[in-house]
Structure 1
Amino acid sequence: MTQIRTGCDLASVDDVRAGISAHGERYLARVFTERERADAGDDPERLAARFAGKEAVIKLLRPTRSESVPLRDVAIVLDEHGAPSVELVGAAAGLAATAGITTVDVSLSHERGLALATAVALSER
């Protein structure tokens, strides 16, 4: 039976900016892929939107309490038309495969210090 899965998240641009200020490259490398950083130009607003996107995708993957999904296993990148798309590797890809999810769509927005993301997928299990 096909199910619709959704996830959403809200992230603070100030929290991302604080992470960058406090931990610099270590924070950026732990949370974001090089492609995400290049697509966002290391802009805290755009990075916050990607952070929210990662969290939204993880929520729709529904890991159990014992399953860990590193943030870098979910990448929010721009496709050839400039729209955000999702790339999964590692634990995130494994959860998607188990759920019968082949594609995840994501929508991002940021305004007035907040970033919002919604992720949607069809699950075949």
Structure 2
Amino acid sequence: MRTGTDLAAVEDVLEGITAHGERYLSRVFTPRERADAGDDPERLAARFAGKEAVLKLLRPDRSDAVPLTDVAVVHDAVGAPVVELTGRAAELAEAIGCDTIAVSLSHERGLAVATAVALTDR
């Protein structure tokens, strides 16, 4: 079993949006994440924490650049958060025998937290 947890400040996400606008948003979040979150900074911060939690679970090498958009935290049909991996993140998951990553998100009082959990073959 592998786990990852992350805490993100809503203020940091808001500062990224304010300073860099669309460039920041498109570099960090997928179009579906943005649509699911309605570009709300609290919800985006929760997704950012989710992405970081997943990357901690995947444990890439320090030299391994994994774009944040390779990890998407989106809603399923009933509104629960699910993880979708593409590109390098999907390759890392496959290398450790990880089919599914569960994620839990929460945000309150300017902070967002996420925990990711997965069973792996290795």
TM-score class normalised by the smaller sequence: over 0.9
Q: 1:81 matched to which residue of 2?
A: 78
Q: 2:65 matched to which residue of 1?
A: 68
Q: 1:23 matched to which residue of 2?
A: 20
Q: 1:37 matched to which residue of 2?
A: 34
2:117 paired with 1:117: no
**C-alpha distance in structure 2 between counterparts of 1:70 and 1:88, whole Å:** 11
**Identity, % of aligned pairs?**
74
- TM-score with structure 2 length normalisation? 0.99
**C-alpha distance in structure 1 between counterparts of 2:96 and 2:115, whole Å:** 19
2:6 paired with 1:6: no
The residue type paired with residue 75 of structure 1 is A
Q: Which runs of 4+ in 1 moved over 3 A?
A: none
Q: 2:97 matched to which residue of 1?
A: 100
Q: 1:47 matched to which residue of 2?
A: 44
Matched residue of 2:119: which SS?
strand
Runs (5+) with no aligned partner, structure 1 = none
RMSD of Structure 2 on Structure 1 (CA): 0.4
- TM-score with structure 1 length normalisation? 0.97
Runs (5+) with no aligned partner, structure 2 = none
Aligned residues: 122
Q: How far apart are residue 67 of structure 1 and its match?
A: 1.1
**C-alpha distance in structure 2 between counterparts of 1:66 and 1:110, whole Å:** 31
**C-alpha distance in structure 1 between counterparts of 2:100 and 2:25, whole Å:** 26
Q: For 1:34-78, what per-residue CA distance to the aligned partner results, in whole angstroms no more than 9, with x for missing partners?
A: 000000000000000000000000000010112111100000000
